[in-house]
């Protein structure tokens, strides 16, 4: 077989089903092998959409997502999504066709240093130099992407090296048993620190979901009676969102985290970035003297910015299970009763909070423009229990997190970097990676315009995705940012370049032109009916919801 055919065979052997991409001239020798490969090509009309779809697929399925883009300009279009994939630690392989190596010295059209473009956002970035090394490089790339800490990789495929014949078996990468066990002494020390705590707290990062450790984290939190927070920028379901111990994500500022931890006497952090902040503010997140235990499969994350009392570099799922076992062996009956009492008390407090949250949404039921609380409360009431939300709603994100229960594993995905243009394509990959589950994408009106091409892909493949657009005709999140920074223009009510009016964008006509059923909702009385009809539709739909244009400072 020629190189291209061997590479396709390796991908198939590795369990790859979909190749996401946008083709160009330099990719043609590689794509020539696609029809006989058994892989399905998923076409995005812009590279960022294709790579976002591959990223969403990787996160939802836990398998490697593969995208093929067009030389330097196509890779450049992909970099914001690659940046997001790096922060999400997605097992993602991006390939790009490179110009013919025989005249790269002449700086031909479209060529560039693809490796250097991609390397800051990847675990490994490489350009094939000889036909014979292509199969080896692909196996290595797949192995690196899937080995914890998982993450994106990049391969540059020169077009002239895809045609030569090579001797290769076409087998996939070597399987690696990557669930590393923790040091027993470290587990015993962690159990000692947690067993007698009177006010323990757990911070669950997205590494919990990546490790498939939701059940283990939940069991440990219940065992010690710990309140559970998400890391400041959590974008996965790391514990059921309707669990009695869940308290939502920490606000992304050091002072806010410190306040949340004031009464804590033992803190367990699992699979989290410590910490991702939004705007710079002074202070440290940990109160002085707090005993902090951090578990992660990436040693880089442990104590990276703030020192901890005990770090355990191992698989979160395995470590949590062994830690729970150690705790059961050392907790006294009095400590067990105290933990159970905390669970009951925390559950009652959560129930009271959720009652107030529901009341706030119900108070908006007749308000025009439609309130974000009423919108998300209504949407949540219609979602099936195993429904999935892919979010890039910016200003509306707090309402998504507050009202949608996310009770099932793998029910929430969002961008880790604030990268606009990720969510539209990611919803496609999440749907393909979660067959049989309903996917809803909550997308801000500004975000939608970064990647409207994704609507065509959803229509072309008849994917049952409902795009819900909370439309305030502005970049309201930036207006909030200006207020938070106490900027002079904001004090005068001037927000340059942040209003999407004159003309307003007709999202309904845009979606329909790309083959998607679309409806506009302006009155709260019709919201439930329109959402229900679009959620029940077998193909892609879009609901454009005119919401309140108000905003306030974040800090």
pLDDT tens-digit readout, 315-372: 999 999 999 999 999 999 999 999 999 999 999 999 999 999 999 999 999 999 999 9
Residue written as token pair 């990959």: 429
3-state secondary structure of 311: strand
Rounded distance between C-alpha atoms, residue 547 and residue 524, angstroms: 10
Return the pLDDT at 380: 98
* Angle at 428 (CA atoms; ends 248, 49), nearest 5 degrees: 100
Inform me whether the pLDDT recorded for 278 exceeds 90.
no
Q: Cα torsion for 473, 466, 371, 381, to the nearest 10°? A: 180
pLDDT tens-digit readout, 70-89: 999 999 999 999 999 999 99
Return the pLDDT at 261: 98
Rounded distance between C-alpha atoms, residue 139 and residue 171, angstroms: 9
Residue written as token pair 């000889």: 130
Q: What is the largest CA-CA distance in the chain?
A: 77
Residue count of the chain, please give it.
555
Please, what sign has the CA dihedral across residues 425, 453, 11, 114?
Answer: negative
Q: What is the DSSP letter of 177?
A: -
What percent of the chain stands above pLDDT 70?
100
164-190 average pLDDT score: 96
pLDDT confidence bin for 397, thresholds 50/70/90: very high
Nearest-10 crossing angle of helices 134-146, 3-13:
30
274-298 average pLDDT score: 95
304-313 average pLDDT score: 97
Inform me whether the pLDDT recorded for 555 exceeds 80.
no
Return the pLDDT at 6: 98
Return the pLDDT at 13: 98
CA distances from 145 to 122, 124, 206, 461 (A): 9, 8, 17, 27
For the record, the structure tokens of 98 come out as 């490179």
Return the pLDDT at 279: 85
Write out the DSSP string of 259-294: HHTTT-SEEEEES--TT--SS---S-SSPTT--EEE
Return the pLDDT at 472: 96
Rounded distance between C-alpha atoms, residue 348 and residue 457, angstroms: 45
pLDDT tens-digit readout, 442-501: 999 999 999 999 999 999 999 999 999 999 999 999 999 999 999 999 999 999 999 999
Return the pLDDT at 418: 86
Inform me whether the pLDDT recorded for 208 exceeds 80.
yes
Write out the DSSP string of 118-168: HGGGSSEEEE--SGGGHHHHHHHHHHHHHSSSP--EEEEEEGGGSSSB---
* Angle at 445 (CA atoms; ends 459, 391), nearest 5 degrees: 70
Give the residue among 422, 417, 416 at the shortest CA–CA distance from 444: 422
Return the pLDDT at 98: 98
3-state secondary structure of 436: coil
3-state secondary structure of 416: coil
Q: Cα torsion for 238, 241, 245, 249, to the nearest 10°? A: 70
Give the residue among 542, 540, 543, 531 at the shortest CA–CA distance from 457: 540
pLDDT tens-digit readout, 133-160: 999 999 999 999 999 999 999 999 999 9
What rounded mean pLDDT belongs to the chain?
Answer: 97
239 touches 410 (CB < 8 A):
no
The three-state DSSP-derived secondary structure of 348-410 is HHHHHHHHHHHHHHHHCCCCCCECHHHHHHHHHHHCCCCCEEEEECHHHHHHHHHHCCCCCCC
385-403 average pLDDT score: 96
Question: Which domains does the chain carry?
Answer: 3-161 (3.40.50.970), 184-348 (3.40.50.1220), 364-546 (3.40.50.970)
Return the pLDDT at 554: 80
Nearest-10 crossing angle of helices 184-195, 316-330:
60
How many other CB atoms are found less than 10 A from the CB of residue 213?
26
Contacts of residue 418, defined as CB under 8 A and 6 or more positions apart, other chains included, come to none
Phi-psi label, residue 73: left if phi above 0, alpha if psi -120 to 50, beta otherwise: alpha
230-250 average pLDDT score: 97
Inform me whether the pLDDT recorded for 265 exceeds 80.
yes
């Amino acid at each position: 077989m020629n190189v291209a055919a061997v590479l396709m065979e390796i991908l198939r052997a590795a369990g790859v089903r979909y190749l996401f991409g946008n083709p160009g001239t330099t990719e043609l020798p590689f794509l020539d092998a696609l029809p006989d490969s058994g892989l399905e090509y998923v076409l995005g009309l812009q590279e960022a959409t294709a790579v976002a779809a591959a990223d969403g697929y990787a996160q939802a399925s836990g398998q490697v997502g593969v995208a093929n883009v067009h030389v330097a300009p196509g890779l450049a279009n992909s970099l914001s999504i690659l940046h997001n994939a790096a922060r999400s630690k997605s097992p993602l392989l991006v390939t790009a066709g490179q110009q013919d190596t025989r005249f790269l010295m002449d700086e031909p059209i479209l060529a560039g240093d693809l490796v250097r473009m991609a390397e800051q956002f990847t675990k490994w970035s490489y350009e094939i130099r000889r036909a014979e090394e292509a199969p080896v490089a692909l196996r290595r790339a797949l192995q690196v992407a899937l080995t914890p800490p998982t993450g994106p990789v990049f391969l540059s495929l020169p077009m002239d090296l895809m045609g030569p014949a090579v001797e290769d078996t076409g087998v996939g990468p070597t399987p690696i048993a990557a669930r590393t066990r923790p040091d027993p002494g470290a587990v015993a020390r962690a159990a000692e620190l947690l067993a007698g705590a009177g006010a323990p707290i757990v911070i669950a990062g997205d590494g919990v979901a990546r490790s498939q450790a939701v059940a283990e984290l939940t069991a440990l939190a219940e065992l010690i009676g710990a309140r559970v927070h998400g890391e400041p920028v959590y974008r996965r379901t790391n514990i059921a969102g309707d669990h009695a111990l869940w308290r939502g994500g920490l606000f992304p500022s050091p002072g806010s985290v410190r306040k949340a931890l004031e009464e804590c006497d033992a803190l367990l952090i699992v699979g989290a970035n410590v910490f991702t902040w939004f705007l710079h503010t002074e202070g440290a997140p940990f109160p002085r003297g707090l005993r902090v235990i951090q578990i992660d499969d990436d040693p880089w994350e442990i104590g990276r910015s703030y020192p901890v009392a005990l770090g355990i570099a191992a698989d979160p799922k395995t470590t949590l299970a062994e830690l729970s076992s150690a705790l059961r062996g050392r907790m006294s009956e009095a400590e067990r009763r105290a933990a159970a009492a905390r669970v009951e008390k925390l559950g009652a407090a959560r129930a009271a909070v959720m009652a107030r949250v529901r009341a706030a949404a119900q108070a908006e039921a007749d308000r025009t423009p439609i309130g974000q609380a009423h919108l998300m409360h209504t949407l949540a009431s219609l979602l099936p229990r195993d429904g999935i939300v892919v979010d890039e709603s910016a200003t509306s994100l707090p309402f998504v997190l507050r009202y949608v229960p996310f009770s099932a594993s793998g029910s929430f995905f969002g961008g880790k970097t604030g990268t606009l243009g990720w969510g539209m394509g990611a919803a496609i990959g999440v749907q393909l990676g979660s067959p049989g589950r309903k996917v809803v994408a909550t997308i801000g009106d500004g975000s939608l315009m970064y990647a409207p091409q994704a609507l065509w892909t959803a229509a072309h493949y008849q994917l049952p995705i409902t795009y819900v657009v909370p439309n305030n005709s502005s970049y309201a999140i930036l207006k909030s940012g200006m207020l938070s920074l106490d900027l002079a223009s904001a004090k005068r009510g001037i927000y340059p370049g942040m209003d999407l009016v004159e003309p307003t964008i007709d999202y309904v006509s845009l979606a329909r032109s790309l083959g998607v059923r679309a409806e506009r909702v302006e009155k709260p009385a019709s919201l439930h009916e329109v959402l229900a009809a679009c959620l029940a539709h077998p193909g892609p739909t879009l609901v454009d919801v005119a919401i309140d244009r108000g905003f306030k400072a974040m800090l």
